[in-house]
Amino acid sequence: MTASLVALPTVFSIGLQRQLAYRWNYLLRALFSAMPLLVSWVFWKAVFQGKETVGSYTLAGLLTYYAVLLVVEAVSSPADDDFQISREIREGMLNSILLRPLPYGLYRGALFLAGRCAYLTAAVLPVALCFFLLSRVVPLELHSLDWIHGIPALIGSALLQFSLTLCLSLVSFWLLDISALIFLVYSLEFLAGGHVFPLDLLPAPLFTAARILPFAYEYWFPAASLCGTIPREAWMAGLGMQFGWAGFFLLFAAFLWKAGLRKYTAAGG
């Protein structure tokens, strides 16, 4: 176990180098990720025409939510970890990893962390520029961000997204192509995760239902925690749900890994 922990910084470093080898790809990704914020600004400006509030949101409050989503996405969303894991299983590349005294979950965790660090580095400038430009036309409420409640929720979101990604990818032991499954979950994450609109704009019964599902804790919960729109008690309960779901998916991933390895056939030299 100690040997595994000693190896993790090296895995992290290799992951970082692998990610930064494609700097342009990362920069493009970061630039394009700002596009939804621009679209949201144009669309919601038209929605707010002649109105002070929509639901409990002002235009500035709503756009702050979308801006904060960019930060949440940069910190916690896996890039193509799901497809990498799937390829490793499908193409028999697991062989070399299985021979090493390093648990696969920890190995992937270190690579996920390296990917997030590389993406954050590439995204800092475009995101900051985007915030700056947007704050010139709309008074974003960035000064009142609640980092004390936001940071634990961000960490929980990263853990939840990583564990869910791990579960989905490990289905590759049984299915040849999991891309349809991955994109189906993406669509659920977008809708029920609060990526398209803040979940509290939903009618009350749907909002309650959305908070039972794990997706709300991937985007809406950390973004709303950072924006400071969640009362303390609800935040505590939300954090419990978030880490509870993350724990569940980690356990489920461990189960899938054990079951999958029994089915896995190592081929090639």
Partner 1 sequence: MATPFHLVRLWLIQLRYAASRELAFRANFFAWVVVELAWFVLQLAFVGVVYQHVESVAGWSRQEMIVLVATNQLIQQIFTAFLMPGLVKLPELVREGKLDFVLLKPAPPQFLVSTSHLEIGPLANAAIAAVVGILALHDLHITPTLPSLLAYLLLVLAGLLTHYALLLGLVSLTFWIIQAESVLLGYYSIFQVARLPREAATGWFRILFTLVLPLLLVANIPAATLIRGLQPSSILLLLVTCLTAAFASSFFFHLGLRRYQSASS
Residues at the site binding partner 1, with contacts judged by CB under 8 A: 22, 24-26, 28-29, 31-33, 35-36, 38-39, 42-43, 45-47, 49, 51, 54-55, 80, 177, 180-181, 183-184, 187-188, 190-191, 196-197, 201-203
> Alpha-carbon distance 248 to 244, whole Å?
6
In whole angstroms, the minimum distance from the beta carbon of 192 to partner 1 comes to 9
Considering the complex, state which of residue 91 and residue 177 has its C-beta at the smaller distance from partner 1: 177
Q: Which residue matches tokens 């025409």?
A: 49
* DSSP codes of every residue in 154-202: HHHHHHHHHHHHHHHHHGGGT-S--HHHHHHHHHHHHHHTTSSS-GGGS
Contact between 189 and 219 under an 8 Å Cβ cutoff? The reply is yes
Smallest gap from Cβ 180 to partner 1, in A, equals: 4
Task: Pick the closer one to partner 1 by CB: 10 or 53.
Answer: 53
Least gap, CB of 121 to partner 1 (angstroms):
15
Residue (26 or 245) nearer to partner 1, CB: 26
The SS3 call for residue 78 is coil
**Residues with Cβ < 8 Å from 173, sequence gap 6 or more?**
89, 256, 259, 260, 261, 263, 264
CB atoms inside a 10 Å sphere around CB 51: 9
Minimum distance of partner 1 from residue 194's CB (angstroms)? 11
CA 124, 127, 133, 136 torsion: positive or negative? Answer: negative
Place of tokens 């390296």: 114
Q: How far is the CB of 207 from partner 1 (least distance, A)?
A: 11
- The token pair that represents 259 in the structure block: 């079951």
Closest to partner 1 by CB, 74 or 246: 74
Closer residue to partner 1 (CB): 28 or 125:
28
Q: Least distance to partner 1 from the beta carbon of 210, Å?
A: 11
Which is closer to partner 1, CB of 4 or CB of 121?
121
3-state secondary structure at position 114: helix
